[in-house]
Structure 1
Amino acid sequence: MRSTLNLKDKKKNGETLIYLIAFFKDEDKKFVYSTGETIHPNEWDFKNRQPKSLTGRSQKTDRHRAIKLQLDRYSNFFLKITELYKNTNQEITIENIRAEFDIEFKKVTVGKDIFYEAYDEFMSRKIKNQEWADATIKRYKNIKNILQEFEIVRNYKITFSKINDKFYSEFTDFCMTDKQHINNTYSRNLGLFKTFMLWALNNGYTYNAKFRNFKKKKRVITNQIALKIEDLQKLIAQDFDTARLEGIRDVFVFSCVTGMRFGELKLISKNNIINGSVQLKEEKGAEKEMREVPLNEIALYILRKYDYKLPLKANQKHNDYIKEVFKIAGYTENVEKTTTKGKEVIRETMPFYERVSTHTARRTFITMMKQKGKSDKLISKITGHKDMKTLNQYYQVNDEAKKDAVNDTFDIELPSLKKVN
Structure 2
Amino acid sequence: MRTKNTFSVHFWVKPTNEKINNGIIYVRITVNQRRVLVSLKRKISFDLWDPSKKRAKGTSSEVKQINHYLESAKSRIFQCYQELNSKGKKVTAQLIKATYLGEVENSKSLRDLIEYHSRKIKNTHAAGSIRNYRVSEKYFFKFLNKERKTSDIYLKELDYKFLCDFEDFLGGYYPKRHPKAMGHNTIMKHIQRLRKMVTLAYNMEWIDKDPFRRWKNTFEKKDREFLTVGELSNLETYEFLVERLDRVRDLFVFSCYTGISYTDIMKLTKDNITIGLDRNKWIISKRQKTNTPIKVPLLDPVLELIKKYEDHPMTLVSGTLLPKITNEKLNVYLKEVAILCGIKKNLTFHMARHTFATTVTLSNGVPIETVSKLLGHTKISTTQIYARVLENKISQDMIALRGILKQKKDEDSTQSPNVASFSIYLGAIGFTR
Fold in common (TM above 0.5):
yes
**Are positions 1:382 and 2:393 aligned together?**
no
With normalisation by structure 1, the TM-score equals: 0.65
Amino acid across the alignment from 2:3: L
Q: Please, which of 350, 365, 384 is the counterpart of residue 359 of structure 1?
A: 350
TM-superposed CA distance for 1:249, in Å, is: 0.7
* Contact 2:80/2:100 (8 A) holds in 1: no
Mapped partners of 1:177, 1:111: distance in 2:
34
Matched residue SS, 1:216: coil
Q: Please, which of 109, 124, 135 is the counterpart of residue 128 of structure 2?
A: 135
**Are positions 1:4 and 2:10 aligned together?**
no
**Corresponding position of 1:167:** 162
Matched residue SS, 1:210: coil
Instruction: Evaluate the alpha carbon distance shift between residue 71 and residue 166 of structure 1 in structure 2; reply closer, same or farther with a 3 A threshold.
Output: closer
Mapped partners of 2:74, 2:205: distance in 1:
27
Q: Please, which of 126, 150, 158 is the counterpart of residue 143 of structure 2?
A: 150
Instruction: Evaluate the alpha carbon distance shift between residue 371 and residue 361 of structure 1 in structure 2; reply closer, same or farther with a 3 A threshold.
Output: same
**Corresponding position of 1:305:** 308
Matches within 5 A, 1:39-50: 39=33
For residues 285-326 of structure 1, what are the alpha-carbon distances to aligned partners after superposition, in whole Å with 9 as ceiling and x for unaligned? 56x4x4311111211221232235322333333222212211
TM-superposed CA distance for 1:206, in Å, is: 3.7
Amino acid across the alignment from 2:300: E
* Contact 1:323/1:353 (8 A) holds in 2: no
* Greater relative CO, 1 or 2 (CA 8 Å, sep 6+): 1
* Contact 2:283/2:297 (8 A) holds in 1: yes
For residues 26-77 of structure 1, what are the alpha-carbon distances to aligned partners after superposition, in whole Å with 9 as ceiling and x for unaligned? xxxxxxxxx983259xxxxxxxxxxxxxxxx999xxxxxx999979745623
RMSD of aligned residue pairs (Cα, Å): 3.9
Mapped partners of 1:376, 1:170: distance in 2:
41
Matches within 5 A, 1:341-420: 352-354=344-346, 356-367=347-358, 368-411=360-403, 412-413=405-406
Mapped partners of 2:261, 2:98: distance in 1:
45
Mapped partners of 1:79, 1:131: distance in 2:
39
**Are positions 1:176 and 2:171 aligned together?**
yes
Mapped partners of 2:352, 2:98: distance in 1:
52
Instruction: Evaluate the alpha carbon distance shift between residue 6 and residue 181 of structure 1 in structure 2; reply closer, same or farther with a 3 A threshold.
Output: same
For residues 315-352 of structure 1, what are the alpha-carbon distances to aligned partners after superposition, in whole Å with 9 as ceiling and x for unaligned? 33322221221111112xxxxxxxxxxxxxxxxxxxx2
Matched residue SS, 2:287: coil
Mapped partners of 1:320, 1:120: distance in 2:
35
Deviates more, 1:236-245 or 1:179-188: 179-188
Mapped partners of 1:173, 1:208: distance in 2:
23
Amino acid across the alignment from 1:174: F
* Contact 2:272/2:284 (8 A) holds in 1: yes
Matched residue SS, 2:345: helix
Matched residue SS, 1:283: coil
Q: Please, which of 59, 65, 84 is the counterpart of residue 77 of structure 1?
A: 84
Mapped partners of 2:129, 2:259: distance in 1:
21
**Are positions 1:294 and 2:297 aligned together?**
yes
Mapped partners of 2:383, 2:98: distance in 1:
46
Instruction: Evaluate the alpha carbon distance shift between residue 110 and residue 311 of structure 1 in structure 2; reply closer, same or farther with a 3 A threshold.
Output: farther
Could you tell me which runs of 5 or more consecutive residues in structure 1 were left unpaired when the two chains were aligned. 8-14, 16-34, 41-56, 60-65, 83-93, 95-99, 332-351, 416-421
**Corresponding position of 1:231:** 231
Amino acid across the alignment from 2:356: F
**Are positions 1:314 and 2:309 aligned together?**
no
**Corresponding position of 1:246:** 246
TM-superposed CA distance for 1:109, in Å, is: 8.4
Matched residue SS, 1:268: coil
**How many residues are paired up?**
324
Mapped partners of 1:292, 1:271: distance in 2:
13
**Are positions 1:38 and 2:29 aligned together?**
no
Mapped partners of 2:223, 2:188: distance in 1:
18
**Corresponding position of 1:279:** 284
Matched residue SS, 2:395: helix
**Corresponding position of 1:263:** 263
Mapped partners of 2:254, 2:327: distance in 1:
15
Could you tell me which runs of 5 or more consecutive residues in structure 2 were left unpaired when the two chains were aligned. 7-28, 35-51, 55-72, 175-180, 276-280, 311-319, 410-433
Amino acid across the alignment from 2:324: L
TM-superposed CA distance for 1:353, in Å, is: 3.2
TM-superposed CA distance for 1:139, in Å, is: 1.0
Runs of 4+ in 1 over 4 A off after TM superposition: 66-72, 78-82, 100-113, 412-415
* Contact 1:111/1:117 (8 A) holds in 2: no
**Corresponding position of 2:120:** 125
Mapped partners of 1:151, 1:101: distance in 2:
28
TM-superposed CA distance for 1:105, in Å, is: 7.8
Instruction: Evaluate the alpha carbon distance shift between residue 297 and residue 81 of structure 1 in structure 2; reply closer, same or farther with a 3 A threshold.
Output: farther
Matched residue SS, 1:395: coil
* Contact 1:140/1:192 (8 A) holds in 2: yes
**Corresponding position of 2:421:** none
Q: Which has the larger radius of gyration?
A: 2
Amino acid across the alignment from 2:334: I
Amino acid across the alignment from 1:194: R
**Corresponding position of 1:213:** 214
Deviates more, 1:176-185 or 1:239-248: 176-185
For residues 75-129 of structure 1, what are the alpha-carbon distances to aligned partners after superposition, in whole Å with 9 as ceiling and x for unaligned? 62365699xxxxxxxxxxx9xxxxx9997488978899932232122112210xx
With normalisation by structure 2, the TM-score equals: 0.64
For residues 369-398 of structure 1, what are the alpha-carbon distances to aligned partners after superposition, in whole Å with 9 as ceiling and x for unaligned? 111111111111211113222102123444
**Are positions 1:325 and 2:332 aligned together?**
no
